[in-house]
């Protein structure tokens, strides 16, 4: 909290000037602080009379920190299929668990009665073992056929309370973003959303959770040293899954949840795929992306032509989306989609960090930019320095020529 010593305050207004949030102002002969104070301390630094004091309440470490052990991955299951992000997280979780010398477990919630379009719940439990899990907690109940925040949240939180894993990871998908914060709240745990890197701090085994901060201008590494579990979400396609190994041995542990904990206050009537899901950038092997360098909607049409010639999908930087050349579902980056195709061709995109976080896991990155200093060339496998209005038509011509040979 920010403590104001009314005797010492001379109402000089320096604190008001220093506060970028407008959270402190002088009223009468003393400063007063509002609810939007972020406790940044800028006012304390400029106060010349020592009237302001920042009192930070240190949270006491949990008494039983050492009794939490193991790494868990929430494996999302919809319509009879595992979401690929669960396997990607097992790849990352395997490394963390090995560093800690603890088992890696997956938690699979759903209904075996609903085999949907995929393999079905039991088969997917075996898939999780083949991709690195030592254990799978399998909760198969008709009440879990449709996702609901409260039932899924209760079941996962109860399992965590019972088995005490030190780390819980989940995908930052629509489902993960919806109920994982609820689980963290129920467990009074911290949660770092949208991590791009995870590691273990050797001295104390704490989870190092790295994610972009301040609009992507810095990478922040966040640690939760005093509470357990340490919880993080990771966007799809950021981590790499392990190759499937059907020879791996693992234990599948059926769990019967308390029926009272499966009650939901929400009835799901229908699930409809939104516009965002209909653009299948995530599944395309080749993605051709255009940025501000295309200059006009007509210029952007070149990107579509190149994508057509390659049989790829079309993506864009935020600048292109903001210019109205292509709708938002095609945006790649921090506030758009994350993609990891075999080939990503960036045309007239400078390579701002907010764009890079959405595409830097692509296997091969080809950048076309007339500025040899453009940051996109720092991540590009192949760079073409040139005017895209000359380069792209030549590429299309060559591709079409090859096709007719």
293 is a site residue for ligand FAD (CB under 6 A) = yes
Please give the torsion angle defined by the CA atoms of residues 381, 385, 388 and 391, in that order, rounded to the nearest 10 degrees: -80
Sequence-distant (≥ 6) Cβ neighbours of residue 179 within 8 angstroms: 147, 149, 152, 153, 156
The answer to whether 354 contacts ligand FAD (rule: CB under 6 A) is: yes
CA angle 286, 169, 249 (to 5 degrees): 85
Q: Based on CB atoms, which residue is closest to ligand FAD, 15 or 388? A: 388
Instruction: Kindly state whether residue 215 participates in binding ligand FAD, applying the rule CB under 6 A.
Output: yes
Q: How far is the CB of 327 from ligand FAD (least distance, A)?
A: 14
The residue among 207 and 359 lying less far from ligand FAD, judged by its C-beta, is: 359
C-alpha to C-alpha distance for 369 and 385, rounded to whole angstroms: 5
Residue 319 interacting with ligand FAD (CB under 6 A): yes
Selection from 46, 49, 40 nearest residue 2 by Cα = 40
Helix (H) and strand (E) counts in the chain: 12, 21
347 Cβ contact partners less than 8 Å away, ≥ 6 residues apart: 288, 289, 290, 291, 293, 294, 302, 303, 306, 368, 388, 392
314 belongs to the binding site for ligand FAD (CB under 6 A): no
Q: Which of 111, 127, 230, 334 binds ligand FAD (CB under 6 A)?
A: 334
Q: Which of 45, 371, 397, 400 binds ligand FAD (CB under 6 A)?
A: 371
Asked if 108 touches ligand FAD (CB under 6 A), the answer is: no
Contact call for residue 233 and ligand FAD (CB under 6 A): no
Closest CA to 287 of 219, 379, 359: 359
Size of the site for ligand FAD (CB under 6 A): 30
Encoded one letter per residue, x for contact with ligand FAD by CB under 6 A and - for no contact, window 134-173 reads ----------------------------------------
Does position 317 interact with ligand FAD (CB under 6 A)? The reply is: yes
State which residue, 153 or 358, has the beta carbon closest to ligand FAD. Answer: 358
Which CB, 153 or 299, lies closer to ligand FAD? Answer: 299
In which element (H, E) is residue 254 found?
Answer: strand 251-254
CB atoms inside a 10 Å sphere around CB 174 = 14
Q: Does 370 sit near ligand FAD (CB under 6 A)?
A: yes
Give the interface segment with ligand FAD, choosing from 4-12, 57-65, 222-230, 387-395 (CB under 6 A). Answer: 387-395
Integer angstrom CA distances of residue 223 from 62, 164, 201: 15, 18, 9
């Amino acid at each position: 909290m920010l403590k104001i010593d009314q005797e010492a305050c001379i109402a000089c207004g320096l604190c008001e000037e220093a506060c970028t949030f407008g959270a402190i102002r002088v009223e009468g002969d003393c400063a007063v602080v509002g609810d939007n104070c972020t406790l940044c301390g800028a006012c304390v630094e400029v106060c010349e009379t020592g009237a302001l004091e920042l009192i930070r309440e240190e949270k006491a470490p949990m008494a039983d920190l050492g009794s939490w052990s193991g790494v868990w991955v929430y494996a999302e299951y919809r319509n009879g299929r595992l979401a690929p992000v669960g396997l990607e997280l097992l790849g990352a979780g395997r490394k963390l668990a090995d560093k800690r010398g603890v088992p890696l477990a997956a938690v699979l919630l759903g209904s075996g009665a609903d085999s949907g379009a995929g393999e079905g719940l039991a088969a997917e439990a075996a898939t999780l073992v083949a991709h690195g899990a030592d254990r799978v907690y399998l909760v198969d109940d008709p009440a879990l056929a449709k996702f609901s925040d409260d039932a899924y949240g209760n079941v996962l939180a109860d399992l965590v309370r019972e088995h005490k894993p030190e780390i819980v990871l989940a995908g930052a998908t629509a489902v993960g973003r919806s109920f994982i914060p609820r689980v963290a709240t129920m467990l009074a745990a911290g949660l770092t959303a949208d991590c791009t890197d995870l590691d273990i701090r050797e001295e104390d085994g704490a989870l190092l959770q790295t994610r972009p901060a301040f609009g992507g201008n810095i990478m922040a590494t966040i640690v939760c040293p005093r509470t357990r579990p340490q919880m993080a979400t990771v966007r799809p396609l950021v981590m790499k899954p392990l190759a499937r190994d059907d020879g791996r041995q693992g234990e599948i542990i059926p769990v019967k949840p308390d029926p009272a904990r499966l009650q939901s206050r929400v009835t799901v009537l229908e699930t409809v795929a939104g516009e965002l899901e209909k653009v299948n950038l995530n599944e395309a092997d080749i993605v051709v992306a255009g940025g501000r360098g295309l200059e006009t909607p007509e210029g952007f049409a070149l990107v579509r032509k190149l994508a057509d010639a390659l049989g790829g999908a079309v993506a864009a930087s935020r600048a292109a989306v903001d210019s109205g050349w292509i709708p938002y579902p095609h945006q790649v980056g921090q506030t758009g989609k994350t993609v990891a195709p075999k080939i990503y061709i960036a045309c007239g995109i400078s390579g701002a960090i907010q764009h890079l976080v959405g595409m830097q896991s692509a296997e091969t990155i080809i950048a076309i930019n007339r500025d040899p200093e453009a940051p996109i060339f720092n991540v590009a496998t192949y760079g073409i320095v040139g005017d895209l209005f000359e380069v792209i038509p030549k590429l299309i011509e060559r591709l079409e020529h090859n096709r007719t040979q």
